[in-house]
Amino acid sequence: MNFVSRRKIEFAEAGKVSARDLDLIPLESIGSKWPIRYEWIETTAIAFDVLTIVSASFCASLFYQLSEGLHIEIGKPLGSATLVAILFSPLLKYQGRYKPSELLSWRRQIRMVFTAWVGVFLLLAGIVFALKIGSELSRATSILFAAFGIIGLIANRTIIRELLKKGLSEHRFSCRRVALIVDPAQGYEPISRKLCKIGMDVSTRFALPPRGAGSNLRRKLAKNIVGHIRGSDIEEVIVTADLNRWSELRAFADELRLLPLPITIVPTGACKEILDLPRRDLGAMTRVELQRGPLSRTEDLAKRAIDLIGASAVLVLLAPLLIMAAVAIKLDSRGPVLFRQQRLGFNGRSFRICKFRTMSTLEDGFTAVQARPVDSRVTRVGRWLRKTSIDELPQLFNVLSGSMSLVGPRPHAVAHDNHFDKLVRNYAFRQRVKPGLTGWAQIHGCRGPTPTTEHIARRVDHDLWYIDNWRLGLDLLILIQTPLEVLRGRNAY
C-alpha cells in the first residue's frame, strides 16, 4: 500500500470523507511531501544548530559594536562561532542527541542543550584564564553571545520538535520506497508499521520461501520478485528473517542479484540480540562486546581533561579559602591540618584520600565509626567545615594525581566498604569508575552517614545509574548542581 492510499484510508477512518469519494481526493488536499527524508533529520538538526550559533555570535557582536559606536568586524564573531560550534555540536552528536527519537523529547533536549552550552563556555573560560588572553576578548560580547545562543537553541529545539511530530504523524517526509520480503510466520504488519514510522514507504510485499524449500521453488519465487521490482520506483529491498536460516537466505539473495538495488536484512530471533551489541575489529577477526568498559579511550581523555582543568581552576580560585581553613584548624585543636585515610578506587586499587581534619581522632583501619548529628569527636572548626563541605576540597589534589575524578561515586572508608559489600548486592560495581569529589547520588541528597541498609542501597542505586548512563554532559550537570546542593546543606554534619 503506497503513501496516497494510506492517507486516503486515514481520512476515511477519521470521518473526513466517505469511502465512496476516496478516489476523488487530490494528493494536494491530503498533504504534500516535504523535500527532506527521515534519514536526513539528524544532519539537518546539526546544520540548524550551527546556523543558530553563527547567527547568535554575529547578533551579539553587531549589537555590542553598534551600541559602542565601534567599527563592525566580521572575523571575530565568525571565529568565536566556529570554535563554539566545533565543541557544541560534536558533543551532542556523540551523545546521540540529534536522533529523531531524542529530538522528540523536548525536556531532555532542553536540559542537555543547556548543560552542553554552559559546559562549552565554562571550558572556554578556563582556557582563556589559563592562557591569560582575556584582555583580547570582550566580556559583554561573550555574555550576549551566550544569552542569544541558548535562546536560539531552545527555540530551535521547539520548532524542530513540532515539525518532526507533524512530519511523522502526517507522513510528510519524502519516503524511501522499499520492497519488503518477510517470513509469513512473522506477519507483515508489525515490520511495515515500524518502517513507516522511520520514513519508509513499503510499496510492495513478498513472502520468503518456506524453511527447507528446494532450489526450484526458491528460484521461482525470486524470479517473481525480480519481475515485479524491475522497472518500478523501488529504491531498496528489505528482508526480515531469523538468521538461523542463513544458508537459505544467502542462496535466496544470490537469486536477486539481477536487481541493481541495495538488499538489506533485518534479523529477528536470538541472533538479533548479538547483532545489537557493539562490534570491534580484532585483526582479521570480529569481536562482539558483551560488556562495555565504563569509559572508552576518548571518553576517558575527555573526562580527564575536565578533571585537570576544573581542579586546577578551583584550587587557584579558592587558594585563600584553603589557607584560612588550614590556619583555623591549626589554631582550633591539636593535630595535623590534613587527614589522610585509606580508600578503594578504580578496580579496587587503594589510595590515600586527602581531607581537612575535622575530628579529634584519625581512624584508619578495619574499624571506623561514621559521624553522627551530635558527635563529640568533631571539632568546632570541623563542624563548620563539614557543614559547608570545605573539608572535602583537598581531594582536588587526589583529582590532579589521577586517583579520583571530579565526578563519580563517593569513596568510603575500607572498613565501610567491607561492611556494605555484604549488605548490598552489586556494591562493588561502584569501583568500575574512579571515585569522585561529587556525584549523582550527592546532588540527590545522598550525603553524609549511611546508618541503615536502605540509605546505602539508595546511594548505590544512584551510583550505578551514573556509571551505566555516563556522558560528558551528565558530569557538567552534576558539577553545576553541586554548589546548589551544598547551599541546601542536606544531611551534612
For every residue of 254-303, DSSP letters joined together read HHTTTS-S-EEEEEESHHHHHHTS-EEEETTEEEE-SS--SS-HHHHHHH
The Cα–Cα gap between 42 and 84 comes to 19
pTM of the model: 0.52
Cell numbers 494536494: residue: 28
Q: Kindly state the average pLDDT of the residues 445-452.
A: 74
The amino acid at residue 412 is H
pLDDT band at 31; cut points 50, 70, 90: low
The per-residue pLDDT for 367 is 53
What rounded mean pLDDT belongs to the chain?
80
Burial class (CB in 10 A: 0-12, 13-18, 19+), 35: exposed
Question: Mean pLDDT lowest for which of 55-69, 385-399, 404-418?
Answer: 55-69
The amino acid at residue 429 is F
Q: What architecture is the 175-288 domain classified under in CATH?
A: 3-Layer(aba) Sandwich (3.40)
The per-residue pLDDT for 366 is 53
Which residues have CB under 8 Å from 155's CB, separation 6+?
Answer: none
Q: Is residue 380 a contact partner of residue 332, using CB atoms and an 8 Å limit?
A: yes
The per-residue pLDDT for 4 is 42
CB atoms within 10 A of CB 442: 27
The per-residue pLDDT for 406 is 94
Q: Is residue 394 a contact partner of residue 424, using CB atoms and an 8 Å limit?
A: no
The per-residue pLDDT for 360 is 73
pLDDT higher at 202 or 461: 461
pLDDT higher at 131 or 93: 93
Q: Is residue 450 a contact partner of residue 370, using CB atoms and an 8 Å limit?
A: yes
Q: Kindly state the average pLDDT of the residues 72-100.
A: 82
User: Which of 116-120, 304-308, 477-481 is modeled with the greatest confidence?
Assistant: 304-308
Sign of CA dihedral 403, 407, 409, 410: positive
The Cα–Cα gap between 242 and 272 comes to 8
Q: Kindly state the average pLDDT of the residues 25-36.
A: 54
| Digit-coded pLDDT (tens) for 341-382 | 889 898 889 999 999 988 876 665 555 555 555 567 788 888
Domain residue ranges of the chain, discontinuous segments joined by +: 3-32, 39-169, 175-288, 297-488
Q: Kindly state the average pLDDT of the residues 438-459.
A: 82
| Digit-coded pLDDT (tens) for 125-170 | 777 776 666 566 677 888 889 899 999 999 999 999 998 888 877 7
Burial class (CB in 10 A: 0-12, 13-18, 19+), 330: middle
Model confidence at 50: pLDDT above 90:
yes
Percent of the chain with pLDDT over 70: 84
Q: Kindly state the average pLDDT of the residues 177-182.
A: 87
Question: Mean pLDDT lowest for which of 241-250, 359-368, 385-394, 399-408?
Answer: 359-368
**Helices of type H across 133-214:** 139-169, 189-197
